[in-house]
Chain A
Amino acid sequence: MPSPTVTLLTPTTVVSPAERLTVPTFGDVVVDRPAHADWQRYLHELDPTTELAAVWISADAEPLPAVRALRSLTRFDRTRVYVVGPDTAGPVPGWAEALDVEDIVRPAAVAPEGLTTSVELALRAHRALMTDDLYTDFYLDMTFNKIFDWFETTRWDWKEVDLDRIEHGMLDERTVDFLTEAAVIEFGTLPGAHNFLREWQDEVSFSSWALQWGAEESRHSLVQARYLDQIGVKLRSKHALYKREPYPQGDVRSATLMMNVISESRASALYKALAAHISEPVIRKIWRLLARDEARHCRAFSVFMRELCDSNPAHQTAALSMAYIWLADRGNGVKHPAGMFYPHSTSAAGIRRIETIQQDSVDAADAKVMSIVRLLADDDSLETPRDIKAKLRDLARRSGAR
């Protein structure tokens, strides 16, 4: 990767040769000092591979038009801008915020003694913006804000669940087994939340939503454990603790999201099947609410996944590959992260027992996933995992031909 570039613009007509500066944690940085009169040309002719991390514009060099010229080019939307002037005490002028000027600094900041520290600070700020693949200028343009209201207003209320009205006579051993397994499987969402925050640690939008998701999932174990308690079954905490081991973190975010789209879709179908086959009204109600939650989760994960995949073939390929792996391989029953990553816990067998309640429920869940896959691949002809594999071959051929 080429070294990042920073630019010092002072009111001079002399073009100074580019220098190199070594900055702790970042290594070599190119320092350009273009002539003020050349600013427009400099910006337009800057090599497309150059990462212009920051510019310092002297207050004597008509900073406002110079900053505007930079900001008018979208390729520099994440370049950090500093105005250098003797007068840094007053309030920051309005145009500074409007044009995303990072700070107004004293001349000492760009003098030889201070430059390294200033550049390091600017590079850290720049890197924070660059690591976000889905960077938006404004916070409220993030997907988190766009889906928040829908997500918030469709959450169930504990008041909807009345554990004092359980019809004990309608319960049998099988129902209690399903309930226990479902509560235990739900414990697997906590390491899922740990991993989401690890895997997305340099971004904001999905991470913020993942906190809400995790909060909802924690209610899924809790409500079922409280129901069990009410009927005299105490859920051991070991089941939750077993699942606190982290499982391997994914390496491509779109693939991680696809895995979750699929497991949420299946979880929703399984809760729906449980609710349809068990007659005790309180647990039936709970399972219906949880089925709805899992369907909401599936939808939200798919929104974040599509956002990554739109116009990004690498993400698209990764997500489709994950879809193929999960949809095509049901030889040993359905895969679920909770069952795959915790072989010493009972999840895998538990999911299999729940599956038996309605054999075609997973098919219905996977059919829903296929509709998400079709949207993602922008290809209506995809019907089966085999079609996904053919699509992947096609994408590989096309990227090879480019």
Chain B
Amino acid sequence: MPRTSVTDIEQTVRRFVAEKLSIEAEAVDLDTDLRSLPRFDSIHALQIVLEIEQHYDIEVENRVVFETSTVRDFAAAIATVIAEAGAEPLS
């Protein structure tokens, strides 16, 4: 598996979030609460998680879908899963 930095993951998360909600990636700040974004709801959270899972070939826990508040937290949770799956994320 290629080495993936947390910054890369953050950018990927931002891109997926922006795509799913049909907004500009710039509007998705690292510290924006995802719940405050237009149209964001549990179904979108699930869709974003599914894309991330597919992209990195990982599986995240249910609570990541429901408890994540910002891109930064979300990316950190993904980085942990990737690390546990064997790759070493750079920070």
Chain A positions within 8 Å of B, measured between CB atoms, are: 255, 321-322, 324-325, 328-329, 331, 385-386, 389-390, 392-393, 396-397
Minimum C-beta distance from A326 to chain B (A): 9
Task: Evaluate contact between B46 and A325: CB separation under 8 angstroms.
Answer: yes
By secondary structure, the A interface counts as helix
Q: Which residues of B contact A390 (CB under 8 A)?
A: 59
Partner of A329, one of B42, B47, B53: B42
Looking at B26-34, B60-68, B76-84, the stretch in contact with chain A turns out to be: B60-68
Extra contacts besides A331-B63, A389-B50 (8): CB < 8 Å: A324-B46, A328-B65, A331-B66, A389-B46, A389-B62, A390-B59, A393-B50, A393-B53
Contact present for A322 and B43 (CB under 8 Å): yes
For residue B65, which residues in chain A have a CB less than 8 angstroms away from its CB? 328-329, 389
CA distance A385 to B42 in the complex (A): 14
B71 to chain A, nearest CB (A): 20
Q: How far is the CA of A385 from the CA of B49 in the complex (A)?
A: 14
B interface secondary structure, majority: helix
Q: Is the CB of B62 within 8 A of A393?
A: no
Question: Min CB distance, B44 to chain A, in Å?
Answer: 10
Cβ–Cβ contact A393 & B66, under 8 A = no
Instruction: Assess whether A396 is in contact with B66, with CB atoms less than 8 Å apart.
Output: no
Tell me, rounded to whole Å, the shortest Cβ–Cβ distance linking A38 to chain B.
46
Say whether B54 faces chain A, with CB atoms less than 8 Å apart. yes
Name the CB-closest residue of B to A392. B50
Partner of B50, one of A325, A329, A396: A396
Q: Cβ of B54: which chain A residues have Cβ within 8 Å of it?
A: 393, 396-397
